[in-house]
Amino acid sequence: MPEDQFMNVKEQWFMYDTIGITPWLDEITHPIPGWFSSFLALSNTDALTFFDTRNKSIGLAYNNQESRDQVPYAYIVETLSVGFFAPACASQLSDKTIPSGANWIGRMDTMSSFWDNELPQHTSVIFRVNQDERLKAVCSIVPPSYGPVGGCIGQGDFSDPTPPAIGGGNYGVHANGMGRAHLKYRWEFPGGIGVPRRASLVVECRLVEWARTILRTIWGPGYFPMRDYDPGEVPTNPITPKPSLFGIQCLLTGRREVQQRGQYHA
């Protein structure tokens, strides 16, 4: 091979980006771009975009991009998914005020299930490379195939809700998701979609008006109650509210083209 001709190596690589909806956003000093502190704020947004707003500085659990505007290497996209992830602690309190007694009026237990199962069926997805739209679909047919799948719901009993005899806690739990927990059961692009180096790549999601109307009329996300005391203690208030986080994550898997060691080039 002539010295001025180099060959890149194709290696398996994936890219992911996450949008969060959480009241925790109001508590931090550095708001995360494209995240929302309420369902109402989410419903008033025209489009949710991935890969063009954030990078890994928001946390590697949510994003692994070096840059947010352009792909820094040639990339072949093989699969795409959009996953909706809701808190396993399904019981939501509207604020940090802990209600007294056993009746938590206004508590919401169904939003996790709605988020994971219902909302993806009313949200569209568009995959765009530069000006070309390579996929237009509904999010329910591009499930993530990782994370919780299947479903269950459970709720505890009160043995005695009045301190100091704490006993059980009447909290809802949730474990659900769409798809099957195996990465091979994903939306595939036969032959792959080539993305040139420095190209713009974006995945855009849009809620239909019905879904936006629902979210406008629901408070939240709220706070889930956590038991916060050591065994043997007699706490004044045994519950500490913690902010919940509802997420939407887009994952691309494929192969990126990188330079071989000793053959670096522009």
Over residues 137-151, the pLDDT tens digits come to: 999 999 999 987 766
Burial class from Cβ neighbours inside 10 Å (0-12, 13-18, 19+) for residue 209 reads exposed
- For the chain, what is the total number of helices (H) and then of strands (E)? 3, 12
Q: Identify the H or E element spanning 18.
A: strand 9-21
Among the listed residues 58, 46, 47, the one whose alpha carbon sits nearest the alpha carbon of residue 16: 58
Cβ proximity of 94 and 221 under 8 Å:
no
Mean pLDDT estimate for the chain? 84
How many whole angstroms separate alpha carbon 260 and alpha carbon 6?
9
Q: Which amino acid is at 130?
A: N
Over residues 219-230, the pLDDT tens digits come to: 989 998 777 666
């330079």: which residue's tokens?
A: 259
Over residues 81-139, the pLDDT tens digits come to: 999 999 988 888 887 766 555 455 557 888 998 999 999 999 999 999 999 999 999 99
Structure tokens at 121: 């069926």
Among the listed residues 222, 263, 176, 250, the one whose alpha carbon sits nearest the alpha carbon of residue 21: 222
* pTM of the complete model: 0.85
How many whole angstroms separate alpha carbon 154 and alpha carbon 143?
24
Cβ proximity of 173 and 163 under 8 Å:
no
